[in-house]
Amino acid sequence: MTPRWHRATTAATIALALVVTGATGYQASAADYERIVNGAFSSGTSDPWWTGAGTSGRVVDGEFCTAVTGGTANPWDALIGQNGVPSEAGQRYTFAFDAHATTAQRISAVSGEGVAPYRQNAKADFDVTTAKQRFTFTFTSSLDFPDAGSGQVAFHLGGQSFDNTICVDNVSLIGGVVPPGGTPGTPTKKIQVNQVAYLPGLPKHATLVSDATTPQAWTVRDAAGTAVATGQSTPKGVDAASGDPVHLIDFSSFDTAGTGYTLAVGDDVSFPFDITAAPFNALRRDSLAFFYHQRSGTPIEAAYVGDTYARAAGHLNVAPNQGDDNVPCRADLNCGYTLDVRGGWYDAGDHGKYVVNGGISAWQVLDTYERAIALGDASALGDGTLAIPERANGVPDILDEARWEVEFLLKMQAPSGMVHHKVHDANWTGLPTLPNQDPQPRRLSAVSTAATLNTAAVAAQAARIWKTIDPAFSAKALLAAEKAYTAAKANPNVLADPNDGTGGGTYSDGTVTDEFYWAAAELFTTTGGDAYRADVTGSPLYKGTSLTTRGFDWASTGPLGDVTLAVVPNGLPHADVAAIRQAFATTADAHLAQMATQGYPAPYRNADGSYDWGSNGLVANNAMVLALAADFTGDAKYRAGVYETMNYLLGRNPTGYSYVSGYGDQPVRNVHHRFWANQLDPSLPIAPPGVLSGGPNSGLQDPVAARLLQGCKPQKCFVDHIEAYSLNEVTVNWNSALAWVANWAAEKSDGKAGCSVDYQVAKWPSGQVATVKVTNTGAKAWQGWTLGFDFPGGQKIANGWSADWRQDGASVTATHLPWNTSVKPGTSTYLGFVATSSASDADPTTFRVDGKVCGKG
């Protein structure tokens, strides 16, 4: 999750001019080009500075202070630095910084190359004392490094026998004639489309970048270049999120399935695209395959991923690995035990495993299955549907994959019932580093309330899913869940340390109200326990109040509890479940309203318009909200909104990239990953198909982003670079969101069970008569059908007509008779019943044909 670091040790003879003064601060003039990012540490963070082995750094009182362990032989044995620093051969530079130390010592300031052969531009030695001083030297560069290239500045802090702390501030490197970032990049196309496929029967939109104020003529061409549709664009003006002057191209009227279509406006031509449902079925598999690639503690076998992506098992205590079968706590914690935490998924491009990110990821993979069972079609999620070792074991493959992470979460539970927040390396490793090549010691971070509640929630969910599949595992999971929840209630404010960021991400979260709600919801749904019910209904987050247009993520998990309560049968009052479902529809309406105003529609909004780290994960989670609104209401507008969101992720965005690797003509290739590191080592692969990049991030929290994208508009804060980790990282929780949405999109793309239901009822005090119109809105005829719904009240069917009516408790089915077996597209069949009821009995709200939710009308 942070950039690689390299030591620069090559000697060089360079003319230097050195100045040492009392530190009074420094500020560049307006004409100076500053090459250091975050040299003043005014944000309170050290990004994008790194620390090397034997050092740990943090920002203290506005300075970057580094603790250095003594006993190193050479100055370069203890390093701090920043990568991607540009320089131009023949140009003059001034390197300046403030520094002081707990104990006086000599340090070196170095400008040079961060990769082999580690050439130097300049190296100057300074004697740092306990008094803060300003050090300055000038040099003429002999090397050319572009922004975000191999250039580096570093401080050599080693070579001392004693431990020490050295603080630096106001670090500056000024010089050169090329502006920071150079010339801003532009998309390769002026017409942005979904580079993969538009779904037949749904709206088809594209974006034209043009400052013309009048409509522009557009043409759809087939693969042979023949015009098959024409029209006029609609000018929309300057789009706030991208800064582009945009036109909307609506070619929805063209609906002929095919491949290799392009859109043209004048001489500008889009990337090719298809009109078909096929890629959605491929994406559901590829997005789930990501998790097998990320498995820890097992070889990734060529039989399942091919030779290119096969690798040895990581972190099994086989040299040079040092874990994960007996991992101790950090030295400062003194927990007195070790844990066997083999298994689980590597969180991202690093080798850390984090409970709070693994929790939402495992839950979302499991919910993909649980939602399909309750509201959709789980036939594509069965055994043998994924390329994993467990296929053909009689258990749905999606559950086998999720279990790999669930088992890890259970292993992270301490004897007290609390759960350790994370396990990762003692220090950051470089790029590239394969998991089996990681030499770093592994350490457990402290327990936290958030991690404990994540484990309680996911373990409770697993307990109900595996209840009949593997009763022993179900019981084990439920025991762990209840133990964790009890421990969290007794320790409600044990928060993760926001400074615990050496060797792994911090994942600190200052609010755990949402985790308490989520865990209580899962435990109540699984057990029906009164105490859990009270915690659910007494929470301020009850009934969807935490749903927002920003979206949910690992630090905002309240909506996960809402999903479970709205989808999985439980003992809550019908009116409360209806209120939760309405909250999803209300939030989905806000997303659709915003998307209607955008040049590149994406369901995501911060109050200030900015885009966060992992914005694509939030976009995908908000597509999940749209999908659930479609499930709950049957309204076609939400379904269309899901596929509009897929357009954004698959290429209809201002960067011109498909953010899903392997999909589209210009997909991301260089994601931040220690194995998929082809950009740094051509012998290694690019990302496999189906991996979601984090996407635009206004914060620009890495040196590549900070150098290349200063002043970028929110949706344009992106570059496909392996070291742009704040933009192009991959994580399990973003891919779990993609997998959930891709599975829903694939399920809803086949056209086999499009339906709508018009339910009309006449009531009297003790009964009612209902007339039901069922319409085939799909593209294919039904040959046999079953209507299903649930009574929310006490209705009991006395008799019915035009179907074989059956009732089991609240659940009702109506199956075709011989004369109405076939229902052609666009036609309807009529049926009805008489039932006993009371005046307070509400009407059913969700209807399904062959297990798939129908629209209304």
Active site residues: 350, 672, 720, 729
List the end-to-end C-alpha distance of the chain, in Å, as a whole number: 50
- Cα separation, 521 vs 773, in Å, equals 36
Long-range contacts of 704-710 (CB under 8 A, 24+ apart): 704/84, 704/147, 704/148, 706/37, 706/38, 706/48, 707/37, 707/84, 707/86, 707/147, 707/148, 707/180, 707/181, 708/147, 708/148, 708/181, 708/182, 708/185, 709/181, 710/180, 710/181
Q: Which residues pair with 448 in a beta bridge?
A: 419
Backbone angles phi, psi at 524, to 5 degrees: -65, -45
The vertex-39 CA angle with 37 and 43, nearest 5°, equals 90
- Cα separation, 474 vs 482, in Å, equals 12
**Dmax of the chain from CA atoms?**
99
Write the CA distances from 648 to 185, 221, 775, integer angstroms. 19, 22, 32
624 three-state secondary structure: helix
- Cα separation, 275 vs 711, in Å, equals 37
Q: Which residues pair with 98 in a beta bridge?
A: 134, 169
Work out whether strand 205-209 and strand 245-250 pair parallel, antiparallel, or are unpaired.
antiparallel
Which residue from 753, 749, 748 is spatially nearest to 780, judged by alpha carbons?
A: 753
The vertex-669 CA angle with 665 and 675, nearest 5°, equals 150
Q: Which residues pair with 329 in a beta bridge?
A: 444
Q: Are 157 and 80 in contact (CB under 8 A)?
A: yes
SS (H, E, C) 228-278: EEEEECEEEEECCCCCCEEEEEECCCCCCCEEEEEEEECCEECCCEEECCH
Amino acid at 583: A
- Cα separation, 564 vs 587, in Å, equals 17
- Cα separation, 182 vs 708, in Å, equals 7
45 three-state secondary structure: coil
Q: In what order do the strands lie in the sheet with 164-175?
A: 17-22, 133-140, 92-101, 164-175, 63-68, 55-60
Write the CA distances from 804 to 579, 727, 800, 833, integer angstroms. 32, 56, 8, 11
Q: Which helix (H) or strand (E) holds 688?
A: none
Which residue from 276, 264, 253 is spatially nearest to 196, judged by alpha carbons?
A: 276
Backbone angles phi, psi at 476, to 5 degrees: -60, -45
The vertex-72 CA angle with 69 and 75, nearest 5°, equals 105
Which residue from 354, 462, 253 is spatially nearest to 731, judged by alpha carbons?
A: 354
